[in-house]
Amino acid sequence: MSLLTASVFLLLLIALSAFVSSAEIAIAAARKVKLQIMAKEGDVRAHVVLNMQEHPGSFITVVQIVLNAVAISAGAIGESAISPYLERLFNHEALASIVSFVLVTSVFSLFADLMPRRLAMSNTEIIAVKLVRPMIFLIFILKPIIWVFDGAANLMFELTGISTVRKDDMTSEDIYAVMDAGAEAGVLKHQEHHLIENIFEMQERTVTSVMNPREHIVYFDTKTSTEQIVKIMIKQPHNKFLVCSDDDLEHIVGYVESRSFLALVLEKQEVCLTDKTLLKPALFIPDTLSLFEVLEMFKSTGADFAVIVNEYALVVGVITLKDVMSIVMGELVTLEEQLIIQRTDNSWLIDGMTPIEDVIRSLGIVNLPHSQNYETISGFMMYMLRKIPKKTDSIEYANYHFEILATDNLRINQLLVTKLDHVV
């Protein structure tokens, strides 16, 4: 075979190998979500790629057959066509064979493998839809050979009990990773990324992480005087107030809206907390619900205010629709700034009742141990200390130093958190 003829055959083999290599990477690495979007926009080829990803047996077989056949053919042609010329040049048969092998292998590695694969990795979906139909044609031509090898491979997998079904189930971790990548690339703005992250947090955060706790609940006894009620409403400007009998939170009879109550007072009408037109029934929910479940319950009942009770039927707090939606809309930023005050670049003053999710977000901690056992940073300190915390108690975790600065009876009022890398 002449050098010119060999060069033409080698170029054809390089082109064939480059086509198969780029198709292999592009079709295998093409993102399912992106392909589904392209398919919905009317690109039929995207449907074909998706189908090939779900049933990759024939595709993988034809890739291996072609690449192996091309490699063997290129080696044989290169050896027979180039070695004689190199043997005359070096006057050494073994050296000529080695140089021709290295030369042909280098050319194929660069032009038939490395460059096509890198190009395919940078434009996976575009190249996948362009090359999928030529690959189907190639599969059709080599169908008899593919049938033999593919059948043998399937038989081996069945005998060994190994599944070859591709699983593309999207998990929450996958979505988080896509959001992070989008934020880093500038596709998502910081506010948009934070908003989406908050929506997913609703499924994981329990109602107790956002509720107004029992000790902060302002309520009235059914026998409280109108003058006293007005004073409290002015001092504590809430929209809704619980009404209890026997001055006991465990005997809730309903709630009143401050607007309706004060409107009757201004009209100088006689007001009674037990009036059915004024007193509304309270919605009771368990403390194990997630924020998403609470939102669904508000939607189904038409309520926007609920009393939270634990497994012993004790009231542990209250929550409003605004509290839930503030998590989604990011309106808790002002609240977080009051609960978490950054003193320096490396230290924070944190209120003991701060939800643990807000602490994790503000400090950048990946996770806290057994976080399902507590809702606030006070609970975290109790869990880590294994006792009722007192002033000056401290722990170290995740390269942070947590120290209790102030307590009120059994309650932690404030902590100082310092990053240990910067402690002098």
When pLDDT is cut at 50, 70 and 90, the band that residue 143 belongs to is: confident
Please compute the mean of the pLDDT values over residues 346-364 and round it to a whole number: 87
When pLDDT is cut at 50, 70 and 90, the band that residue 333 belongs to is: very low
State yes or no: pLDDT of 195 exceeds 80. Answer: no
- Report percent pLDDT > 90 for the chain: 27
State yes or no: pLDDT of 334 exceeds 60. Answer: no
Numbers of helices and strands, H then E, in the chain = 17, 12
* Residue tagged 């180039």 (tokens): 82
Q: How much is the mean pLDDT over the chain?
A: 84
Six token digits for residue 404? 């209790």
Other beta carbons within 10 Å of 360: 17
Domains and CATH numbers, the chain: 3-160 (no CATH), 172-204 (no CATH), 207-329 (3.10.580.10), 333-422 (3.30.465.10)
CA 73 – CA 117 distance, rounded (Å): 21
Tell me: the pLDDT tens digits for 90-104?
777 778 778 877 888
Residue 288 contacts residue 281 (beta carbons within 8 Å)? no
pLDDT given for residue 423 in this prediction: 44
Q: Which segment of 137-141, 286-290, 331-335, 381-385 scores lowest on mean pLDDT?
A: 331-335
Other beta carbons within 10 Å of 92: 12
pLDDT given for residue 167 in this prediction: 64
State yes or no: pLDDT of 3 exceeds 90. Answer: no
Residue 375 contacts residue 290 (beta carbons within 8 Å)? no
pLDDT given for residue 169 in this prediction: 63
More confident residue, 79 or 306: 306
State yes or no: pLDDT of 397 exceeds 50. Answer: yes
CA 193 – CA 188 distance, rounded (Å): 6
pLDDT given for residue 309 in this prediction: 95
Other beta carbons within 10 Å of 384: 19
Residue 209 contacts residue 357 (beta carbons within 8 Å)? yes
Tell me: the pLDDT tens digits for 18-52?
998 999 899 988 888 888 888 888 889 998 998 88
pLDDT given for residue 82 in this prediction: 74
When pLDDT is cut at 50, 70 and 90, the band that residue 298 belongs to is: very high
Six token digits for residue 387? 């006792």
Question: Which pTM value belongs to this model?
Answer: 0.56
Please compute the mean of the pLDDT values over residues 393-404 and round it to a whole number: 93
State yes or no: pLDDT of 415 exceeds 60. Answer: yes
pLDDT given for residue 322 in this prediction: 87
What are the DSSP E strand ranges found in 267-364? 283-286, 305-309, 315-320, 340-344, 347-351
When pLDDT is cut at 50, 70 and 90, the band that residue 168 belongs to is: low
Strand partners, 416: 349, 403
pLDDT given for residue 297 in this prediction: 93
pLDDT given for residue 421 in this prediction: 73
